[in-house]
Chains A and B, each alone.
Chain A
């Protein structure tokens, strides 16, 4: 449904963020994107979202422009500190010109969906990190998107909050069946959530492995301690190690040259 074909991204200063990146994502798939920092994971999201322009290659959409509805969840919650939870969640609808009254039901639904009922009037500074992320997710869901782009959304959270949000996200995804690209540097999170884990290498950024996690949903807490889960984690981590090694070699070569 989304196909990235031979995508390259070169920044103005000559940095090659992505080179010949290929990725095909079927509808309602949850794709985990892992890789070392600087491998262009976030760049993939930004290109898909249209927030930056690709240098070459094509992005194909297996859907009409009308149907395509993107939502983006940023690494930090990126909330407006001057607005309460309800106003933050309402923002995308407000920008599309929807009246406050029409928006009210959808805003309330989105807030309930992420489990923040009762906090509608709270301001961001009164919320914990996990709750801020929930607001950010509610703001993404309020437009009823079919594609959800998540850029290390739980990266700054503690482990307990993170695993709670992971299972809540999976529950929501099973209800709503968005297509999700989930960027993370956490192998365990990627394996637990994804249909497929894409491992990326840096300099230049590209996909080096595509590992299908063939475990049916709903994935229970028991899955997290199963040997199958461990097997997948080991596999991803080995491929990630390869990605890192490759970089070491490249660095070694350049050192030899000098």
Chain B
């Protein structure tokens, strides 16, 4: 019990250091940026100062935030679809060597083809439903890390445990459910963290390519339009929102992963017992 409290305390201390250090760097960067803009007299259409960006962000908050929500929707739908389909595909791969051998190369091809190059095609094919087209683009970028990580995890099961399951005549289904899937969880979560960020990138790229305006346009479209109109402060504000979204996704998935693995995985162990 005593040990537990001391570990909590040291965790708190390291947490605050983990927060304070980057925040200081951030503040320093903003100050330098502001000083640079003031000293060089840089015009706002080339590089706006941080205060101007903040003002723009507040002034255009309603527009930008509703655009951000559209991007959030695309990202979340694509990400969830990627997680579910990625998991199913990996399970399928580990059930048969032949399926893995036959389809894995195509998963790689889908991953290595630049999304910018195929996005126009997808948007043309799904021209009646831009939202779906954007989701498909983001999904293509996001699903591969989940497939490759989870497949690795499902295959790297403790050999002795596999023997034990064999000894007790476990069915294929039992081995999957009680051994392979739990053993793959840390790998799956690692895949999720990578693909969360990628889903956002995929959505942004697809929005750029689609270039659709109207009520349901996302934050990337706002960045694009602002740059056309030389509204550089607004462009910066939208950029910050996008980055913020990316960081939120990453932090959220990290917290989820740490919580799910709190009992057992080395990566989640803060202190040696």
The residues of A that contact B161 with a CB separation of less than 8 Å are: 78, 80
Contact of B160 with A51 in the complex, beta carbons under 8 Å: no
Assembly CA distance A126 to B238 (angstroms): 47
Which residue of B164, B178, B185, B264 contacts A78 across the interface (Cβ within 8 Å)?
Answer: B164
Contact of B168 with A95 in the complex, beta carbons under 8 Å: yes
Known contacts: A81-B264, A82-B263. The answer to whether A125 contacts B174 by CB under 8 A is no
17 extra A-B contacts, CB within 8 A, seeds A95-B169, A125-B269: A49-B167, A51-B167, A70-B167, A72-B163, A78-B161, A80-B182, A82-B183, A82-B185, A91-B164, A91-B168, A91-B178, A92-B168, A95-B165, A95-B178, A96-B169, A125-B264, A143-B168
Indicate whether B35 reaches chain A with its CB closer than 8 angstroms: no
A26-79 contacts to B (CB < 8 Å): 49-51, 70, 72, 74-76, 78
Contact of A123 with B158 in the complex, beta carbons under 8 Å: no
The residues of A that contact B166 with a CB separation of less than 8 Å are: 51
Indicate whether A94 reaches chain B with its CB closer than 8 angstroms: yes
Indicate whether B259 reaches chain A with its CB closer than 8 angstroms: no
Query: Could you give, for residues 120-144 of chain A, a 1 whenever the CB lies within 8 Å of some chain B CB and a 0 otherwise?
Result: 0001111000000000000000010
Contact of A123 with B164 in the complex, beta carbons under 8 Å: no
Q: Is chain A's interface secondary structure helix, strand, loop, or mixed overall?
A: loop
Nearest-Cβ distance from residue A76 to partner chain B, whole angstroms: 7
Indicate whether B98 reaches chain A with its CB closer than 8 angstroms: no
Q: Count A interface residues, CB 8 Å.
A: 24
B218-273 contacts to A (CB < 8 Å): 263-265, 269, 273
Chain B: interface size category: 20 to 34
Contact of B160 with A76 in the complex, beta carbons under 8 Å: yes
A-B contacts, 26 listed (Cβ < 8 Å): A49-B167, A50-B167, A51-B167, A72-B163, A72-B167, A74-B163, A75-B160, A76-B160, A78-B158, A78-B161, A80-B161, A81-B263, A81-B264, A81-B265, A82-B183, A82-B185, A82-B263, A82-B264, A91-B164, A91-B178, A94-B178, A95-B165, A96-B169, A123-B263, A125-B263, A125-B264
B132-182 contacts to A (CB < 8 Å): 158, 160-161, 163-170, 174, 178-179, 182
The residues of B that contact A124 with a CB separation of less than 8 Å are: 264
Which residue of B163, B182, B183, B264 contacts A51 across the interface (Cβ within 8 Å)?
Answer: B163
* A residues at B contact (CB < 8 Å): 49-51, 70, 72, 74-76, 78, 80-84, 91-92, 94-96, 123-126, 143
Contact of B164 with A72 in the complex, beta carbons under 8 Å: yes
Contact of A95 with B170 in the complex, beta carbons under 8 Å: yes
Nearest-Cβ distance from residue B14 to partner chain A, whole angstroms: 20
The residues of B that contact A78 with a CB separation of less than 8 Å are: 158, 160-161, 164
The residues of B that contact A74 with a CB separation of less than 8 Å are: 160, 163-164
Assembly CA distance A75 to B163 (angstroms): 12
Nearest-Cβ distance from residue B84 to partner chain A, whole angstroms: 21
Assembly CA distance A15 to B161 (angstroms): 25
The residues of B that contact A76 with a CB separation of less than 8 Å are: 160
Nearest-Cβ distance from residue B205 to partner chain A, whole angstroms: 37
Nearest-Cβ distance from residue B135 to partner chain A, whole angstroms: 33
The residues of A that contact B174 with a CB separation of less than 8 Å are: 95
In the complex, the chain A residue whose C-beta lies closest to that of B171 is A95
In the complex, the chain A residue whose C-beta lies closest to that of B262 is A123
In the complex, the chain B residue whose C-beta lies closest to that of A139 is B164
In the complex, the chain B residue whose C-beta lies closest to that of A75 is B160
